[in-house]
Amino acid sequence: MSNKELIDPVDRFLGAHETVSETIRSCYADFLMGNDDYSEFSRFSVKRALGSNLLTLAFREYCELYLGFEAESYEDIITKVKPNTCASIIASFFASRKAIKTIDEPLRQKFGKVVSVTSAISEILGYYIPELGLFFGTLYGSLVPSSMAVLYLKSPDQFGGYFQRIQKEKCLSLPEVETALFGVTSAAITAELVHKLGFGRRLSEAFLLGLLSHDSGSKESERIANFHFWVQLFLKEDPAKYITKENFLLDDEAIDAMLEKIKKIKENPENPWFLAEMKNQPFKFSSEEALDEMLNLD
């Protein structure tokens, strides 16, 4: 497949994403320069993005879940959330909601559950295991499922059967099947999403190599490979078999907390933080009209 054939469906999926990508790119650049503080342009961009009440609600939910504080204002976010974490929250919010909107009924509800459960398991792993990290857990958990929405756009007729197969096998991708049906892998799509959302080529390549389990020697690709292995294993198997001191070097309290949270999300999924306005409502995804409103970040 040519680059144009890959990029076109990714661009169709992302739509008018320049404002979002600009904000992510600026925040991530601050992080790469070793700054915990935001540049003036990043501050402006984040404040502009938080003009979305839905994004603000999502930030509050994320901060309470994973960062240990209640974000009451823009100043709370800009002073307590690191720039790379901020970039990952915005990317996950945008991509996850857009992915759920992209998939039409009758698959939307099942697909929404995949996005929600995958993101939750990935974030839990990143939160409790510093070697993996919440930044990578947040990006993996949202962008890998979102790549399926691009496959759907590429060939809606082929996607239904493929989605049923990965549901049956309780995995997130079957690269050889994807190549045969769509002419591209979800790994390549995920990597393109990482790049186009503003995280740059280096992280994009790390995602591609990690998702295909190719050893590049980089810590980033190794982390992605570990997320891909553990998340899919926990989707398929009982996590209690594998979340042990030997595998994760965690204390009993952390192991018990991980097990409890992953078991809960698998058995009784709840609306995720990026749908914070639906908190405490039934686990059901909104109409297409409502989802359109959710995605207005300008």
Of the ranges 81-85, 167-171, 248-252, which one carries the lowest mean pLDDT score?
248-252
Of the ranges 112-116, 266-270, 281-285, 291-295, which one carries the lowest mean pLDDT score?
291-295
Predicted confidence at residue 103, as pLDDT, reads 93
Q: What is the DSSP letter of 39?
A: P
DSSP structure string for 48-116: HHTTSHHHHHHHHHHIIIIISS---SHHHHHHHS-HHHHHHHHHHHHHHHHHHHHSPTTTHHHHHHHHH
224: containing domain = 3-294
Of the ranges 20-34, 166-180, 242-256, which one carries the lowest mean pLDDT score?
242-256
In the structure, what pLDDT confidence band is assigned to residue 276 with cuts at 50, 70 and 90? confident
Predicted confidence at residue 242, as pLDDT, reads 83
- When divided into structural domains, the chain yields a total of 1
The C-alpha atoms of residue 144 and residue 99 are separated, in whole angstroms, by: 10
SS3 273: helix
Q: Mean pLDDT for the chain? A: 89
CATH number for the domain that contains residue 132:
1.10.3210.10
Q: What is the pLDDT of residues 10-53, one digit of tens each?
A: 999 998 789 999 999 999 999 999 988 999 999 999 999 999 99
Instruction: Name the percent of the chain lying above pLDDT 90.
Output: 69
Letter for the amino acid at 176? E
In degrees and rounded to multiples of 5, residue 243 shows phi and psi of: -85, 90
pLDDT for residue 134 is more than 60: yes
